């Protein structure tokens, strides 16, 4: 979460004329970090309950899931904040 705050502050200072863009970047990074932590925790537990070895399948599943969710979060946040 501190990483998101630092990058949001950097974006605010970098694009001072457009604070909405800085807010969108900061919030999307924050939401992505929280979502990545939740997926990294829940996917191995879910795979274990279905009898799949979590050590084998977790890496590719979590990485692909986080990438897809991060893109959706970023564009959704920008769309809502910047009214695009």
Residue spans of the domains in the chain: they are: 2-82
Each residue's pLDDT tens digit, 1-29: 677 677 777 777 776 677 788 788 888 98
pLDDT at res. 66: 93
Alpha-carbon Rg for the chain in angstroms:
16
The CA-CA-CA angle for residues 12, 21, 81, to 5°, reads 130
Each residue's pLDDT tens digit, 34-55: 999 999 899 889 989 999 888 8
Are the beta carbons of 47 and 54 closer than 8 angstroms? yes
């Amino acid at each position: 979460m501190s990483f998101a705050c630092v990058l949001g502050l950097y974006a605010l200072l970098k694009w001072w004329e457009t604070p909405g863009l800085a807010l969108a970047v900061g919030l999307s990074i924050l939401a992505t970090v929280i979502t990545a932590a939740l997926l990294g925790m829940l996917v191995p537990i879910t795979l274990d309950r279905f009898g799949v070895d979590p050590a084998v399948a977790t890496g590719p599943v979590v990485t692909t899931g986080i990438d897809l969710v991060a893109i959706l979060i970023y564009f959704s946040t920008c769309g809502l904040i910047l009214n695009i």
